[in-house]
Structure 1
Amino acid sequence: MFKLFNCERNLKYILRIRLNATVGWITKTNRLCGFIIHVGNKQKKFYSDDSSILVKFKELLACKVSFYNVYEFYDFKEQIGKGASSRVVKAFCKFTQKFVAIKIIDKTTLKPLNYASLEQEIEILLKVKDSIYCSQIIEIYQSQYAFYIVMRLLSGQSLSTYLENQQGEIQKKLTNKQILQIMRRLLEGVNYLHSVGIIHRDIKPDNLMLGEQDNFDTITLIDFGLSTFTKINRYLFYKCGTPGYVAPEILNSAVRNQQSESCDIFSCGCIFYRLITGKNVFKGRTYDELLHKNKQCLIDFNVKQEQHSNQNAIKLLHSMLRKNPDERITAKAALQSSYFYNESLFSINDENWDSSPLVNQLPQFTATIGRVFQLTARDFTSQKLIIPKQRDNNFYSPQLSPIRKDQQ
């Protein structure tokens, strides 16, 4: 808790740190002049001539309590996403002169379990807020009817939208290099989550946003509404995710079965399958048929693959889509697989070549031409590798629908 003292340095007010605690801000011409707290049914106002102190105090309280009078700080622009119990708008901050994304959650649709889910989502967002792989929370506001979660704005589109646009363009397919970029960035993000004790549980193209337009190295994981901590006694949601991307053990599990990080790996494998084949891993004419194939893990590995796929990719794909979660590869091991080592050096099936951001130095070679010691890019210390140059919003809040009947 924070202790607010009067001029005589005697303890007078206590502000309890929790999401339901609210602090208001007094502003004048886009400048902080003071703040407001509630004591019983009364408001207590505090003023300062030093705006910089108030700015630091506001930053200190951000995401620990809720602020109100959101419209004093943000001009709301167009809607950029919509979910079951929320919508996302683009907004302009009057104080920082920057655009942000604000997720607006309707309080009238929330039940007690949903409030607990929201608090857990915010707790997870706070844990990953400094990561380049995850959506970054800035602050939280609330009014009588809604919560407002202010996030860093991602200027690109979702991977789902990108893939849909690709299908609409004649003969335009993802190259081997692009698939590798997507999967490397995705697995790096998942590996980070697992390293800090978080399972996402709803990884799918809709929940992967490009931080920059057409830049796969900026892919960002969003929507942590179904996420959970690995070390937890009881899940808020047991059977959750998106049919077509959810791990079969989630759909088949008994109520109190412990879940592991490997469910995220299966979801990543479903995305990998779609990138390689251009098709969804599970297909059904009806929702029930789709769900049945997903639960039974009925996967057609004989489906025609794109011409730029290779055996290293297929081997990794199989290891990610194993039905038994204990037999699945981990994110860390996947990043160390031959697919990323070999393909990051040579994209022999691409018509054009480019240098990879992972590899800018030439490694040691054995007598066998083209065989590379398995070293990470950070260990490459010899000559520079030169390769011919290539020519070359979707937020969905799951607060009310742990199992969603949507299939990308």
Structure 2
Amino acid sequence: MNIPISTLQNALPLIQPLETVSFVAELEPITSAYEVTSHYRDDRFRLRESNRPRTLELVTSGGDVKCYFTWNGKPDFVSAVYSITRCSESATMINKKRLDLGVAKDLRNGDVIQIMDFLDSDYEEPGYCVKFFFRKTHVFFNPLAERIYTVIDKVGEGGFGSVHECRNPVGEQRVAIKVADATSGFPELEESFEVTMLRTFWENFQALYPVGWGQGLPSVDPHVVKLGAHWTVGSSQYLAMDLAVSDLEKKARRGTHSPTAMCLAEREVLSIARQVFTGLQYLHRFHYVHCDIKPSNILEFEEQELDGFPRMAIGDLGLCRPEDYLIETLSHRSDIFGTPGFQSPEILRLPRLWSPAVDIWATGITLYYAYTGTNGMFAGMTAAEIQHSLDSGVHWRRLELKGVSALGIAFLKRCLATDHLQRVTAEKALLDPWILQQAQVSGSYPFTPALNSNQPLPGPSRPVGQLLAAVAQVLQGEKHSLSTLSSTADTQERIRYQKRARRSHSQHPEAEVASDGQGKGEAQEVSDFVLGTDIYA
């Protein structure tokens, strides 16, 4: 016998998201194509509050209560549970199993609730049948904009918190929402340090490069994740950002793993290096130190660079701090910022010499991982053990065996100079012959493709010196020579580091402290640091 199904136009909400409630629960009316449907008025069934705590009753327009739904009061999506209790003679079934009168049944997402009334006392002639899906959906509610982000999947989790892929309530694109601890350690800050760093970074960046923001894109791509909507609920900080499709750790893991083959081709590693050092250049220019560069924090996006490889950006600024704060606050602390295996030698001993050079070292380790798949190759080592490992030469021989070019290995050695004063800076890294060879070979612009300059760059047939000078002008935004760049800003930076090092060593006896990482890295050689004739003079 065909049973007419009573349908409603809209779902019946059991609970709406609030600042402290991260889910939506509702009854979604359904119909079956093989059954005859009969449409009743929209208010044929409705929900009303009960005198029982956290309970809603399902009633007809005549006031007959058919069943009620009780929430356990848990505000988070995972722990929240709704139960249904039959309280009438109407037949009530969950997934075609009849409920006993007065017995509560916990509901799972997607359960089918069916309620039938009969016209006769023998239960042979049905009057109507109504069916609902029970839906429980994970959401984040932004109380500032009153927007609901529907969670599609959790894409990452760690000590920093968790990252979720979400449906953007405005527009069709999906976004990533990071949930982290809002505690910054500073009572005057009502947000996480990451939000503070990202906001101030982008404010400074937009002040330098305002052109193009009206179209939604910067005229210069700093290769640092952009901060979108953000809000705080209790002790949790929510950050909405562009959704990455992958990260360097996953990308290299999918690559080739062989003693004689690179995980990622050198041309792609070059593209990644160029983009990461572009991001570090801007961070360091504003006197920020990322403190946690590693493969999982180098994010991959769908867009492509002019070189044909994916756009990459530096993410997770949770440990990013102003340089002065690191020097004044963390130089003599026993605990260490960063990830074991990516910490530079100068911060593994007391006093810790914090500077932008720690990011350069971590980037060198990250690029080595892109070639080899070896993550955190110095994990668990002291500064002296790292030096011994570098002196052995096995890492460079491993790169040679994999076919990495001499320019590529020389560049990596400059990133992994154990003396932080001799380590390449982000700006000089972008002028390294290994980076610039891409422009000379392909004729494409060697930096971010989003950078639009009215100054035409010379083609690869021009002398290298002219090419370097033109690139330096674009990077600096001013028309001064490389010699000025080297003799002023870089020299002053080195003098400042030397003064800090002498002051720290005079105040505290040197004590070498091992990092708290696990395992020993491979032995590795380092040759004498050689300055390039045109760039590093």
Q: Do these two structures clear the TM 0.5 threshold for a shared fold by scoring above it? A: yes
CA RMSD of aligned residues (A): 3.9
CA change 1:96–1:327 in 2 (3 A) is: same
Q: Tell me the equivalent position of 1:165.
A: 254
Match of residue 292, structure 2, among 185, 197, 202: 202
Q: Tell me the equivalent position of 2:179.
A: 104
Q: Tell me the equivalent position of 1:246.
A: 343
SS in 1 for 2:150: strand
> Are 1:301 and 2:393 matched, yes or no?
yes
CA change 1:87–1:205 in 2 (3 A) is: same
1:66-105 matched pairs, under 5 angstroms: 68=143, 72-105=147-180
Q: Tell me the equivalent position of 1:322.
A: 417
CA contact (8 A) 2:440 2:459 kept: no
1:26-105 matched pairs, under 5 angstroms: 68=143, 72-105=147-180
Partners of 1:407 and 1:161 lie apart in 2 by 22
* Residue type at the aligned position of 2:238: Y
1:228-307 matched pairs, under 5 angstroms: 228-232=321-325, 234-235=328-329, 239-254=336-351, 257-280=352-375, 282=377, 288=380, 290=381, 296=387, 298-299=389-390, 300-302=392-394, 303-305=397-399, 306-307=401-402
* Residue type at the aligned position of 1:269: G
Match of residue 446, structure 2, among 348, 353, 358: 358
SS in 2 for 1:148: strand
- Offset from partner CA, 1:251-305 (integer Å, 9 cap, x none): 2132xx451111111111112333345545625xxx64x5677655622534322
> Are 1:122 and 2:195 matched, yes or no?
yes
Partners of 1:114 and 1:296 lie apart in 2 by 41
CA contact (8 A) 2:345 2:382 kept: no
CA change 1:91–1:281 in 2 (3 A) is: closer
Stretches of structure 1 that go unaligned for 5 or more consecutive residues are 1-21, 23-65, 347-353, 367-371, 381-401
Higher strand share: 2
CA contact (8 A) 2:360 2:415 kept: yes
In the TM superposition, residue 162 of structure 1 has moved relative to its aligned partner by 0.3
TM-score normalised over the length of structure 1: 0.62
* Residue type at the aligned position of 1:101: A
CA change 1:241–1:273 in 2 (3 A) is: same
Match of residue 227, structure 1, among 320, 328, 347: 320
Partners of 1:249 and 1:210 lie apart in 2 by 30
SS in 1 for 2:241: strand
* Residue type at the aligned position of 1:301: G
Structure 1, 327-336 or 157-166: larger mean CA deviation: 327-336
CA contact (8 A) 1:185 1:217 kept: no
* Residue type at the aligned position of 1:321: L
* Residue type at the aligned position of 1:95: V
Partners of 2:187 and 2:314 lie apart in 1 by 21
Structure 1, 110-119 or 305-314: larger mean CA deviation: 110-119
CA change 1:264–1:95 in 2 (3 A) is: same
CA contact (8 A) 2:283 2:289 kept: yes
Structure 1, 110-119 or 356-365: larger mean CA deviation: 110-119
Match of residue 430, structure 2, among 307, 310, 335: 335
* Residue type at the aligned position of 2:200: K
Greater RCO, CA 8 A, separation 6+: 1
In the TM superposition, residue 378 of structure 1 has moved relative to its aligned partner by 5.3
In the TM superposition, residue 376 of structure 1 has moved relative to its aligned partner by 3.9
SS in 2 for 1:150: strand
CA change 1:165–1:318 in 2 (3 A) is: same
* Residue type at the aligned position of 2:340: P
Partners of 1:98 and 1:172 lie apart in 2 by 34
> Are 1:192 and 2:282 matched, yes or no?
yes
* Residue type at the aligned position of 1:267: A
Q: Tell me the equivalent position of 1:375.
A: 467
- Offset from partner CA, 1:358-393 (integer Å, 9 cap, x none): 298634456xxxxx445149569xxxxxxxxxxxxx
Partners of 1:115 and 1:406 lie apart in 2 by 39
SS in 2 for 1:327: coil
Partners of 1:407 and 1:203 lie apart in 2 by 20
TM-score normalised over the length of structure 2: 0.49
Q: Tell me the equivalent position of 1:212.
A: 302
CA change 1:134–1:114 in 2 (3 A) is: farther
Partners of 2:520 and 2:302 lie apart in 1 by 25
Larger Rg, first or second structure (1 or 2):
2
CA contact (8 A) 1:106 1:147 kept: yes
CA change 1:144–1:188 in 2 (3 A) is: closer
- Offset from partner CA, 1:109-144 (integer Å, 9 cap, x none): x69579969632211110233654111111222334
CA contact (8 A) 1:243 1:291 kept: no
CA contact (8 A) 2:184 2:192 kept: no
1:391-402 matched pairs, under 5 angstroms: none
CA change 1:85–1:207 in 2 (3 A) is: closer
CA contact (8 A) 2:262 2:402 kept: no
Structure 1, 206-215 or 134-143: larger mean CA deviation: 206-215
CA contact (8 A) 2:438 2:444 kept: no
In the TM superposition, residue 223 of structure 1 has moved relative to its aligned partner by 0.7
* Residue type at the aligned position of 1:139: A
* Residue type at the aligned position of 1:337: D
CA contact (8 A) 1:198 1:228 kept: yes
In the TM superposition, residue 208 of structure 1 has moved relative to its aligned partner by 0.1
SS in 2 for 1:167: coil
Partners of 1:336 and 1:141 lie apart in 2 by 39
* Residue type at the aligned position of 1:314: I
Partners of 1:279 and 1:84 lie apart in 2 by 22
